[in-house]
């Protein structure tokens, strides 16, 4: 998503400037070419050597002492995005007023690239009418604002104004630079493995970590979608997603059904148990009583129910975790459950599927299109899945 992009990272003179170092590292790790620009105030909080060492090129600070006679123009023209971390009240005011007081404000005025600002300041400053007026002005001009969190501030105070967490900032950068091909759509994703109670302490479960489902949710958000996750696992929630917590297949069925009618895309990435005990014991089964006889019954077939009741225009994606006959089993499930796309993986292979950070999949579409994605990280798998979804929705056989 971000690999090969060029981002000017502006750092201003606030106590949160040290957090820009972590943002810089994460951007570089994502393949971004980071061009750091620091204000004079920022140098009171972090040294330029630190940022220069982590970024893609040395820090720039001046309109007059750099090798280029017009650094602000070149930086503004070459950038895919300008990111300000942190954005102080002073920077926000100068930018809103169109003042070119230093290299960073000149870059902001000399670019047509999207701009993302991340304010950080004390609560009283954040709430001041002048600051809010300036932010409203910038929003009207198309500037993206990552609002601050509530938490501990400089001096031990608690309140609104704490710089947004790095993951929120990176998510916004991905969203702004993303293809926006899911803008205006509601994507529902299921994630994790269901747990069917045997007694008060034991369950029938599986090894699904939920990582692939959450990666799909994060990718959908970066492409402009509204995302709901029906989840059995406790993973960091992608910024902007709404999570519905469930445990059992029946609970997941109910939660998905409540969201299905308004969903444009449903991705059933969860590993749903096929069977559950007919009756769970209220207390704990004691081993002294001997080996218990556990009678099983089928759980609701959520995917089949969704396929049978799919409204016009909805795209339904299923997953198939297999250990043999991958393509044949995937095609059978695709047709039986009336899916538009099935994502199949051989979980017996090293690094594939359950509990891993990587995956390798075969994507089978109802229109006959088949593609494979070799072993890679789960976010890249998510990207391939949603590329296929977009190809299906547009009917463009050359995409994906």
Q: Is residue 400 part of a domain?
A: no
One domain for residues 284 and 390: yes
One domain for residues 299 and 204: yes
Active-site residue numbers? Answer: 206
Give the residue among 94, 163, 84 at the shortest CA–CA distance from 122: 163
CATH of the domain at 142: 3.40.50.1950
One domain for residues 228 and 304: yes
One domain for residues 197 and 80: no
pLDDT at 66 (0 to 100): 58
Q: Which residues contact 230 (CB under 8 A, 6 or more apart)?
A: 188, 189, 190, 191, 243, 244, 246, 252, 255, 256, 259, 270
One domain for residues 99 and 234: no
Which of the residues in the chain have pLDDT under 70?
A: 65-69, 396-400
Q: Is residue 399 part of a domain?
A: no
One domain for residues 123 and 252: no
One domain for residues 18 and 120: yes
One domain for residues 361 and 214: yes
Cβ distance 35 to 79 under 8 Å? yes
Return d(Cα 190, Cα 247) in angstroms, integer.
Answer: 12
Q: Which residues contact 83 (CB under 8 A, 6 or more apart)?
A: 7, 8, 9, 10, 23, 27, 115, 116, 117, 118, 169, 173
- What pLDDT, in 10s, does the model give residues 285-299? 999 989 999 999 999
Residue 161 lies in domain: 6-177
pLDDT at 155 (0 to 100): 79
CATH of the domain at 319: 3.40.50.10300
Last residue of a domain, one of 126, 155, 177: 177
Q: Is residue 1 part of a domain?
A: no
One domain for residues 218 and 362: yes
Last residue of a domain, one of 177, 199, 220: 177
Name the domain count of the chain.
2
Last residue of a domain, one of 138, 157, 177: 177
One domain for residues 229 and 161: no
One domain for residues 104 and 212: no
One domain for residues 258 and 311: yes
């Amino acid at each position: 998503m971000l690999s090969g992009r060029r981002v000017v990272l502006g750092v201003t003179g606030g106590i949160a400037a040290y957090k820009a170092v972590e943002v810089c590292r994460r951007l570089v790790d994502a393949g971004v070419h980071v061009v750091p620009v620091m204000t004079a105030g920022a140098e009171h909080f972090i040294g330029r050597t630190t940022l220069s060492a982590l970024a893609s090129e040395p820090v720039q600070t001046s309109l007059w002492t750099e090798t280029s006679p017009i650094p602000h123009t070149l930086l503004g023209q070459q950038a895919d995005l300008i990111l300000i971390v942190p954005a102080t009240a002073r920077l926000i005011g100068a930018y809103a007023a169109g003042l070119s007081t230093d290299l960073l404000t000149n870059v902001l005025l000399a670019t047509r690239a999207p701009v993302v600002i991340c304010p950080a300041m004390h609560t009283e400053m954040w709430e001041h009418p002048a600051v809010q007026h300036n932010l409203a002005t910038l929003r009207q001009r198309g500037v993206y604002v990552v609002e601050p969190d509530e938490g501990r501030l400089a001096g031990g105070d608690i309140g609104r104004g704490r710089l947004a967490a790095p993951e929120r900032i990176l998510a916004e950068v991905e969203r702004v630079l993303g293809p926006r091909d899911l803008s205006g759509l509601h994507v529902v994703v299921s994630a994790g493995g269901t747990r069917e109670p045997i007694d008060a302490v034991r369950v029938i479960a599986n090894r699904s970590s939920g990582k692939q489902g959450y990666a799909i949710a994060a990718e959908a958000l970066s492409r402009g979608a509204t995302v709901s996750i029906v989840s059995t696992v406790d993973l960091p929630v992608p910024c902007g997603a709404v999570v519905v917590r469930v445990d059992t297949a029946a609970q997941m069925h109910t939660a998905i059904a409540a969201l299905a009618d308004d969903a444009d895309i449903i991705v059933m990435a969860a590993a749903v148990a096929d069977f559950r005990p007919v009756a769970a014991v209220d207390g704990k089964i004691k081993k002294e009583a001997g080996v218990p006889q556990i009678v099983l019954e089928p759980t609701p077939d959520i995917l089949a129910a969704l396929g049978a009741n799919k409204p016009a225009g909805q795209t339904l994606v299923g997953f198939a975790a297999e250990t043999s006959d991958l393509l044949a089993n995937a095609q059978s499930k695709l047709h039986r459950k009336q899916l538009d796309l099935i994502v199949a993986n051989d979980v017996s292979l090293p690094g594939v599927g359950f509990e891993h950070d990587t995956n390798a999949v075969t994507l089978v579409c109802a229109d006959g299109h088949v593609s494979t994605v070799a072993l890679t990280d789960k976010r890249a798998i998510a990207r391939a899945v949603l590329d296929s979804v977009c190809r299906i929705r547009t009917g463009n056989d050359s995409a994906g």
